[in-house]
Amino acid sequence: MNVLVVGGGGREHALCWGLAASPLVDSLYCAPGNAGIAQDAACVPIAVDDTVGLIAFCREKKIGFVVVGPDNPLVDGLVDRLEEAGIHAFGPSARAAVLEGSKAFTKELCARHGIPTATFVRVRDIEQARKHIARATLPLVVKADGLALGKGVHIATTREEALRVCGEMLDGSLGAAGKEVVLEEFLTGEELSYFALVHGEQVLPLAAAQDHKKVGDGDVGPNTGGMGAYSPPPLLTPELEKRILAEIVQPTARAMVAEDRKYVGVLYAGLMIVNGAPKLIEYNARFGDPEAQVLIPRLKSDLLTLLMAAREGVLHKVNARWHDQASLCVVMATKGYPGSYAKGSVIEGLDEAAKSPDVTIFHAGTTKQEGVWKANGGRVLGVTALGKDVADAQAKAYAAVDRIRWPEGFCRRDIGWRALGTRRGAP
């Protein structure tokens, strides 16, 4: 079967890497991909929002299955358009992707169906906001309703700050995403990303990972798309996983069916574990990035078979089997990220760094010109290693990082610190 992956970041590289290993795949394409992805799939310069171009390409290449990586095309209905054109595609419809596309929708869904989450109010104008903020407990979490490229969440420690940020969002600082704002209770605990494949009420548990959203060591500085991850997190005991499924994932899958928004795809629950109890922070309608870069290398089962089973509604017929090893991914980014940064700096040493069979380097944003790798984005590489435990995976990942010569790049040195019980990073 010919397969197309839509997207061009580290997550899509991990998906292509996993799919390239499938005996069921004849030709693998990625739109638009990047120079690193081109090592595993044929990249085609079609943008993720070029629905007409993607459908034409699928027809030309007789694509039997499309895997949509990023949130925006899902929320915009790419899977609906592909399926209408008779092209099988993995991912939720626009009606179901609203779980990621509207935080207010998800909060209301949780309220209607008793799914544990932070308490909240929705506000559409500054007067409403002022009233709530005057009596809210601090800190207060201020969230734009819609997709905002990771910039839509602000944790305000004073009422003035909450009111200011909320006012800016309502005034259009984030475009349409902020025309409605959710003000919610601040939860204290440990964060966990949990993944399951879903088709209607069928749920196939996958695995969990922990991301590191802040840019700096010790979880300081601004939020990013994710600076590194590891899996499995020791925090996820079998009891906790049971609760996540019974209290959050399964009720959500049932609720979506009951509300005529049947969910098909991977459901990524961003959770806060508060005194041992899981609470939903947010849903994403796709794999996480960098989480996909640690989950897919641990997967022993055939990735395409699982994704196809999710689309077809036969999740009871498949199993997700995992390697015993742990995996850990260190994201390397261009200095300046998540603020402004320059493009085009030269990266050397990638081949030596990837020499160990336990190490895979996923590319989030690179180009290759006359044999020379260059950075082409904020997050650029995901250096991933498998090891006998998180400590071993961490040591191998940082050993690979240290072989990469890229003076304009940086990474956190403490990925995995929660699992290892120390804020001191790798050797």
226 binds ligand GLY (CB under 6 A): yes
In whole angstroms, give the CA distance from residue 309 to residue 88: 12
Nearer to ligand AMP, 107 or 311 (CB): 107
Q: Of the two residues 146 and 409, which places its CB atom closer to ligand AMP in the complex?
A: 146
DSSP labels for 144-181? Answer: ESS--TT-SEEEESSHHHHHHHHHHHHTTTTGGGGSSE
Pick what 187 binds: ligand AMP, ligand GLY, none; C-beta below 5 to 8 Å, kind-dependent.
ligand AMP
* Residues 30, 247: Cα–Cα separation, whole Å: 36
Binding residue (CB under 6 A) for ligand GLY from 178, 288, 297, 387: 288
Binding of residue 187 to ligand AMP (CB under 6 A): yes
- Give 56's contacts (C-beta < 8 A, 6+ positions apart): none
289 binds ligand GLY (CB under 6 A): yes
**Binding residue for ligand AMP, selected from 75, 118, 306, 347, defined by CB under 6 A:** 118
Closest approach, Cβ 324 to ligand AMP, in A, equals 28
| CA distance readout (Å), 72 to 56, 79, 112, 207, 284 | 20, 11, 26, 24, 11
Task: Answer yes or no: are the C-beta atoms of 3 and 307 closer than 8 Å.
Answer: no
Work out which of 99, 153, 269, 364 binds ligand AMP, going by CB under 6 A.
Answer: 153
With a CB cutoff of 8 Å and minimum separation 6, the contacts of 324 are none
Looking at 21, 27, 186, 354, which residue binds ligand AMP (CB under 6 A)?
A: 186
Choose among 287, 69, 300, 257: nearest CA to 194. 287
Give the C-alpha separation, 237 to 105, whole Å: 30
Phi and psi at 418, nearest 5°, equal -65, -40
284 contacts which partner out of ligand GLY, ligand AMP, none, CB within 5 to 8 A by kind?
A: ligand GLY
When CB distances are held under 5 to 8 angstroms depending on the partner's kind, the choice from ligand AMP, ligand GLY, none that residue 389 binds is none
Q: Which residue has the tokens 């020791």?
A: 234
If the CB atoms of residues 7 and 64 are measured against ligand GLY, the closer one turns out to be: 7
Interface pick for ligand GLY out of 211, 217, 241, 414 (rule CB under 6 A): 211
Residue 145 within binding range of ligand GLY, rule CB under 6 A: no
CB 84 → ligand GLY: shortest distance, Å? 28
Q: Is the preceding omega at residue 232 within 30 degrees of 0, hence cis?
A: yes
Closest residue by Cα to residue 282 from 79, 73, 118, 70: 118
For residue 299, state whether it binds ligand AMP (rule: CB under 6 A).
no
Exposed, middle or buried by CB within 10 Å (0-12, 13-18, 19+), for 157? Answer: exposed
Q: For residue 98, state whether it binds ligand AMP (rule: CB under 6 A).
A: no
Least Å distance, CB 287 to ligand GLY, is 7
Shortest distance in whole angstroms from residue 135 CB to ligand AMP: 18
Q: What distance in Å separates the CA atoms of residue 316 and residue 424, rounded to the nearest whole number?
A: 43
Which listed range, 66-74, 183-191, 305-313, 362-370, lies at the site for ligand AMP (CB under 6 A)? Answer: 183-191
**What is the total count of residues that contact ligand AMP (CB under 6 A)?**
12
Q: Which is nearer to ligand GLY, 51 or 284 (CB)?
A: 284
Residue 1 to residues 24, 58, 80, Cα–Cα distance (Å):
6, 12, 21
How many beta carbons lie within 10 A of that of residue 149, not counting itself? 11
- Give dist(CA 131, CA 143) in Å, integer: 17
Q: Does position 191 bind ligand AMP by CB under 6 A?
A: yes
Total interface residues for ligand GLY by CB under 6 A:
6
- Closest to ligand AMP by CB, 186 or 322: 186
166 close to 279: Cβ distance less than 8 angstroms: no
Instruction: Report the nearest approach of ligand GLY to the CB of residue 123 (Å).
Output: 24
Q: Between 191 and 392, whose beta carbon lies closer to ligand AMP?
A: 191
Q: Tell the smallest beta-carbon distance from residue 118 to ligand AMP (Å).
A: 4
Is residue 216 a contact point for ligand AMP (CB under 6 A)?
Answer: no
Q: Is 281 in the site for ligand AMP (CB under 6 A)?
A: yes
CA distance 271 to 240: 11
Residue 226 binding result from ligand AMP, ligand GLY, none, given CB thresholds of 5 to 8 Å by partner type = ligand GLY
- Decide: 233 and 419 in contact? Cβ < 8 Å: yes
Decide whether 191 or 348 has the Cβ nearer to ligand GLY: 191
- What is the contact surface with ligand AMP in residues (CB under 6 A)? 118, 141, 153, 184-187, 191, 213, 270, 281-282
- What is the contact surface with ligand GLY in residues (CB under 6 A)? 211, 226, 284, 288-289, 291
